[in-house]
């Protein structure tokens, strides 16, 4: 990550006044939830759902928290833009997703794309209701959009497509998605503009009361 790696960010937090209250646990989320008896006021899912290997991970996490947390706060990329400079980021995300869903295993930043609509619907079917939600523009210094676009436009991405996608028609879908990223990126370059990161959806979920 930039400007801080995950380790640097954790060290910064632990060195703060909140440090004694924070414990970082490196564990599979479902294993952790199924083996803790703690009750929490708030569970936070911050920009993490796309790392899940399958959609069912999210649908299992929410009911696992139903009896042991008062609310869930969630943020994820919205797949929408309030700034046209973020369009290449949305396209790059979908290009990556179209590749990664054809792999048996993935180490990508985009493994399972879930839109806010899907996340809300999943919450509704697992005992949660959306108390409030909004979509926010992100700061200029948030570089995820540039990183994801750069990856899709790299030769390494194309090599991954050739290796992982055997069916000719499916390969054309992924390649076309990559071409869309290239086209959108080129339009920005023609205007002397840089890629921005797409908007973020944030929401608070409360348990459904009988």
The pLDDT tens digits of the residues spanning 93-127 come to 999 999 999 998 898 989 999 999 999 999 999 99
What is the average per-residue pLDDT within 76-86? Answer: 97
- Taking residues 170-183, report their average pLDDT: 97
pTM exceeds 0.95, yes or no: no
Q: Which residue has the tokens 């409360």?
A: 206
Paired tokens of 90: 């949305």
Residue 32 half-sphere exposure, CB side, CA atoms within 13 Å? 11
**pLDDT bucket at 65, cuts 50 / 70 / 90:** confident
Identify the DSSP state of 72.
E
Residue 204, both tokens: 């608070």
Query: Looking at residue 133, what is its pLDDT?
Result: 98
Task: Of 75, 59, 69, give the one whose Cα is nearest residue 116.
Answer: 75
> What's the rounded Cα separation, in Å, for the pair 160 and 113?
18
């Amino acid at each position: 990550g930039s400007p801080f790696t995950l380790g640097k960010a954790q060290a910064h937090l632990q060195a703060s006044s909140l440090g004694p209250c924070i414990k970082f646990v490196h564990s599979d989320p479902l294993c952790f939830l199924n083996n803790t008896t703690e009750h929490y006021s708030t569970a936070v899912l911050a920009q993490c759902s796309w790392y899940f290997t399958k959609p069912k991970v999210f649908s299992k996490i929410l009911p696992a928290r139903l009896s042991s947390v008062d609310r869930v706060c969630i943020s994820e990329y919205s797949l929408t833009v309030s700034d046209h400079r973020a369009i290449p980021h949305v396209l790059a995300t979908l290009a990556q997703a179209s590749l990664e869903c054809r792999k048996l295993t993935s180490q990508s930043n985009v493994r399972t794309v879930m839109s806010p609509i899907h996340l809300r619907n999943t919450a509704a079917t697992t005992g949660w209701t959306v108390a409030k939600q909004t979509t926010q523009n992100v700061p200029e210094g948030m570089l995820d959009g540039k990183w994801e676009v750069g990856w899709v436009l790299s030769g390494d991405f194309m090599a991954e497509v050739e290796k992982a996608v055997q069916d000719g028609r499916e390969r054309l879908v992924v390649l076309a998605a990559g071409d869309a990223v290239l086209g959108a990126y080129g339009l920005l370059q023609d205007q002397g503009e840089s890629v921005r990161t797409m908007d973020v959806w944030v929401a608070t979920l409360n348990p459904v009361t009988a």
